[in-house]
């Protein structure tokens, strides 16, 4: 396969079609059931693939069309978790959510996303990327009534994530990404066990591995939180040195319209960097030149062959029309930089 310079990709979610789930919100309930739901999810995967290909995206994702939520859908498939009697927790110390409860040993009886990944693999020759939740973010998105230890639970999740990741790799996934927004909040836990758990989750994988660390979806709780972070967001400074030392290949981070000092990217020099050049917290569609400008600025800290233009986070809360515009801008912006480098 010819190596593309500046391969573009999305971080994770895309809006779902309105016939599958009510759009522009998180945890949106399915509108179909049984066989129709299975068929509907595959149709949505076809659409999300086509939208990415039409927009010129190089590395294809599933757009999370087969899951309600990037964390809870994975947890839903595990033994030891009660989804009926939910409890309220504060996610990332920020907003309340009704979440499942760990009531016994967590175990993965069968594959969660492997059939979906095989389906996506069968539909395109392009590289595909699949996102899984990271262990620390999983721990932070439920109530634990069994292990009573975030560390122990993270370790158990790391083991089941590793089982899933190995099967996704065998199904032909080229990049497996772990979403760890909790890394930006719980620095002590990242240090004590979060990073080790992530390394356990990628153990033995030969495909590329990525970690996505961001400031969240463009929802009110996240936007309010960002207002409290001051004029410079230096959270990455706490965690990047640990990622630098890890076996993770790719770091996905938020850049465009954020207050992250771009020189922090220097801390992961040598890693591939998925640079967020699309703001997911705004309906304003970036111009190709704005995207190119963000990419150009990061080139001071990341070698061009390691730069993967991307979005800041998932786009589930946006409209499909806005998403289309943003994806096209991403591709056009990357093309401007390719032209500047004569490739």
The residues binding Zn ion (CB under 5 A) are 214, 313
d(CA 180, CA 178): 6
| In the complex, least distance from residue 215 CB atom to Zn ion, rounded to whole angstroms | 8
Phi, psi for residue 98 in degrees, rounded to 5: -80, 115
* Residue among 230, 234, 148 at smallest CA distance from 187: 234
Q: Are 283 and 318 in contact (CB under 8 A)?
A: yes
Q: Are 75 and 138 in contact (CB under 8 A)?
A: yes
Closer residue to Zn ion in complex, CB, 114/161: 161
User: Closest distance between Zn ion and the C-beta of residue 275, in Å?
Assistant: 14
CB of 153 to Zn ion, least distance (A): 21
Q: Nearest CA to 275 among 194, 226, 213? A: 213
Place of tokens 């967590």: 106
- Closest approach of Zn ion to the CB of residue 132, in Å: 13
Nearer to Zn ion among residue 302 and residue 313 (C-beta)? 313
In the bound state with Zn ion, the residue whose beta carbon lies nearer, of 106 and 213, is 213
- CB of 255: closest distance to Zn ion in angstroms? 12
Supply the minimum distance, in Å, between the C-beta of residue 41 and Zn ion.
22
Nearer CB in complex with Zn ion: 40/194:
194
Comparison of 92 and 108: residue with beta carbon closer to Zn ion: 92
CA–CA distance, 46 with 25 (Å, rounded to integer)? 21
Beta carbon nearer to Zn ion, 144 or 254: 254
Smallest gap from residue 181 Cβ to Zn ion (A): 5
Q: Give the whole-angstrom CA distance, residue 14 versus residue 280.
A: 11
Choice between 214 and 277, CB closer to Zn ion:
214
CB of 43 to Zn ion, least distance (A): 26
d(CA 96, CA 91): 6
With respect to Zn ion, which residue has the nearer C-beta, 69 or 108? 69
- Choice between 169 and 258, CB closer to Zn ion: 258
In terms of Cα–Cα distance, which of 249, 329, 246, 316 is closest to 287? 329
On whether the CB atoms of residues 216 and 181 are closer than 8 A, the answer is yes
- CA neighbours closer than 13 Å in the CB half-sphere of residue 53: 14
Distance CA 302, CA 265 (A): 7
Report the distance separating Cα 95 and Cα 89, nearest Å.
8
Helix or strand holding residue 291 (H, E) = helix 288-298
Asked if residues 99 and 89 have their Cβ atoms less than 8 Å apart, the reply is yes
Write the CB contacts of 67 (distance below 8 Å, at least 6 apart in sequence): 73, 74, 113
CA distances in angstroms from 236 to 138, 261, 270, listed in the order given = 20, 9, 16
- Smallest distance from Zn ion to CB 64, Å: 11
């Amino acid at each position: 396969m010819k190596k593309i310079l500046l391969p573009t990709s999305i971080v994770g979610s895309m809006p779902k079609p309105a016939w599958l789930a009510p759009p522009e919100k998180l945890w949106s309930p399915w509108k179909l059931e049984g066989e129709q739901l299975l068929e509907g999810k595959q149709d949505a995967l076809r659409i999300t693939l086509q939208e990415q290909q039409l927009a010129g995206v190089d590395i294809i994702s599933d757009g999370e069309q087969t899951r309600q939520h990037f964390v809870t859908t994975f947890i839903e498939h595990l033994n030891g978790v009660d989804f009926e009697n939910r409890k309220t927790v504060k996610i990332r110390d920020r907003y309340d959510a009704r979440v499942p409860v760990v009531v016994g040993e967590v175990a993965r009886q069968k594959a969660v996303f492997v059939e979906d990944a095989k389906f996506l693999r069968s539909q395109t020759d392009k590289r595909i990327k699949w996102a899984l939740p990271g262990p620390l973010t999983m721990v932070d998105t439920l109530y634990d009534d069994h292990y009573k230890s975030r560390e122990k639970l993270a370790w158990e999740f790391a083991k089941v994530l590793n089982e899933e990741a190995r099967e996704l790799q065998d199904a032909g996934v080229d990049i497996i990404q772990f979403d760890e927004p909790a890394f930006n909040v719980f620095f002590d836990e990242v240090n004590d066990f979060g990073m080790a758990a992530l390394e356990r989750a990628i153990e033995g994988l030969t495909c590329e591995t990525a970690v996505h660390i961001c400031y969240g979806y463009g929802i009110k709780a996240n936007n309010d939180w960002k207002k409290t972070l001051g004029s410079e967001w230096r959270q990455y400074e706490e965690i990047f040195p640990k990622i630098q030392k890890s076996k993770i290949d790719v770091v996905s981070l938020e850049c465009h319209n954020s207050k992250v000092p771009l020189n922090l990217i220097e801390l992961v020099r040598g890693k591939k960097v998925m640079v967020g050049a699309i703001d997911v917290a705004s309906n304003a569609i970036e111009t190709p030149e704005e995207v190119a400008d963000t990419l150009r600025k990061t080139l001071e800290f990341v070698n061009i062959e390691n730069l993967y233009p991307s979005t800041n986070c998932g786009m589930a809360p946006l409209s499909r029309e806005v998403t289309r515009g943003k994806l096209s801008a991403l591709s056009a912006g990357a093309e401007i930089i390719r032209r500047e480098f004569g490739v």
